[in-house]
Each structure stands twice: as C-alpha cells, then as structure tokens.
Amino acid sequence: MFRVNEIRSLHRINFMMEILGYLAAVLIGISLGMIGGGGSILTVPALVYLMGTTPVDATAYSLFIVGATALVGAFQKYRDGLVNMKTALVFGIPSIIAVFLTRALIMPAIPDVIGSFAGYVVSKDLFIMMVFAILMVIASITMIRGSKNGSSADTSINHQLNLPLIFLEGALVGMLTGFVGAGGGFLIIPALVLLAKLPMKTAIGTSLLIIAAKSLIGFTGDIVHLKIDWALLGIFTSLAVAGIFLGNRLAHKTNDQQLKKAFGWFVLIMGIYIIYRELSGHS
C-alpha cells in the first residue's frame, strides 16, 4: 500500500513539473515577443529540470523551439517595418555557419567525461549547464543595468555600419548559440544597437529574424545524431508561439527598461540556482 502511494505521489509530482514546463514555454514566447531575447535562456533549464530532458538533447530542442517561435515573431515585426534586412544578413550569415558547424562537428566530439576539477567530475552535461548558467548570470547583469544606448540610438536610416565588427560578433554569437542552445538575443541586441546603430525596436525585430535563421539551421545539425521527441517539440513550440503573440501585444503597453530589469533579476536567480544545483549534485 505504501509503495502504491509512493508511486502515485511521484506521478503527481511529475505531472505538476510537466505543467510548469508548459507554462515556462508560454513565458519564453512572451519574453521573445516583448524584448526580442531573454526567453531563450529559459528554454534549456525548463526542458532539463521540468521536462526531464538531458542537457545535450535540451540544447538541440531549444534551437528548434526558439527558432520557430522567433520566426513567427520576426514575421510580425517585419510587417511593422521593424526588421533591417541588410544588418540581418551581415550578422546572420557568419552566425548561421558557426552554429551549424558547432552543432554538427564540435558538440558530438566533446567526450562524455571531460575530466575532474577541485573534487568534481566534469561531465559533458555538467560542463554545458555550468557554461549556460554563467552566461545567464552575465546576461542578467546586463539586463539589470539597462542600456542607455537603447533609447538614444541613432534613428537615421543612413548610418554607417561597422561591418567587420558586426560580422565577427555574428560568428562568436553563432558559436555560443550552438554550444549552449540559446538564441543569443541577449548578445545580439546590444551588438545591433551599439555596432549597427539600430533603434531599439528595430534591433529587437532584426534580432528575432537572426535568431530564427541560425537556430533552425543549427538544429538541422542535430537531426543526424539525435533521436528527436517530436511530440514534446510540437507541444512546447506551439505554447511558445502562443506566448509570442501575447508578448507582442504586451510590448505596446509595457516599459521596456522596467521589464528588462525585472526579467534580469529572475534570470540571475535562476542562473545562481543552476550553478548551486549542478555543483551540489556532481560533488
């Protein structure tokens, strides 16, 4: 009888975790719709901790979920004239190449056990999650501090693009995206504002297009060597897409800077929690 109750309790917990995972999918879409990024860095933790996916599979699934959701959002922004196609190409092409090569060649080559450090066995899963958490902390600090450039960017159409720097940034973000499975919006948007001199709203729309292209193409590098759970991907992505429609509506009614700071604190807490959980579980 005790065993039956224990099994029922476990099923109840798993069900609640799954519901929280699907709610997280909606939140991911809302964040992408409102600020053009940030939501993507929630996808991997949600898949790993709430849906029970392995970190390696989660980084692959994240590329598809974020890519498909961002594509819908980019189409909406394009209709509103908030996508700079020239900048998207200069930034996007090296980013797409880098993310595809990283997923197809580098990720499969990383051994399951990398080594040991300070009493910890550094597995491939631990390494991915630790890098991911550190990036979350860095991104959160950037969001909390805010971007003065976001509100004062040059809105002139005839601005001078810093093409070499934009190209290099695209390649670096693409490699990072391929490794941790994040869309990279929290890195792309500052680059577009500072280097391409785009207005904040145009940077958000352009970022969504770049995220969509490199994430979906990067995902094709995983199809060959991973068994994909298409049912999970379909449900999770559909909820995220619903979230991005809601996010776009809320974007017209919300102060961007206040939203970024609030979301930044949330991401910071989650990043610290992931670091604690991973280190305590692999000691």
pLDDT per residue as tens digits for the range 214-256: 888 888 877 877 888 999 999 999 999 999 999 888 877 776 6
Cα torsion 171, 153, 261, 254: sign:
negative
pLDDT at site 163: 77
pLDDT at site 136: 76
Question: Of 194, 208, 192, 191, which is closest to residue 247 (Cα–Cα)?
Answer: 208
Buried b (16+ CB within 10 A) or exposed e, 131-150: ebbebbbebbebbeeebeeb
pLDDT per residue as tens digits for the range 139-163: 778 778 764 444 444 444 445 567 7
3-state SS assignment for residue 84? coil
Q: Which of 42-51, 114-123, 266-275 bottoms out in mean pLDDT, i.e. has the lowest?
A: 114-123
Helix (H) or strand (E) holding 224: none
- State the pLDDT confidence band at 72, using cuts at 50, 70 and 90: very high
pLDDT of residue 83 exceeding 60, the answer is yes
pLDDT of residue 190 exceeding 80, the answer is no
pLDDT per residue as tens digits for the range 202-215: 888 898 999 888 88
Per-residue pLDDT, averaged over 175-188, amounts to: 73
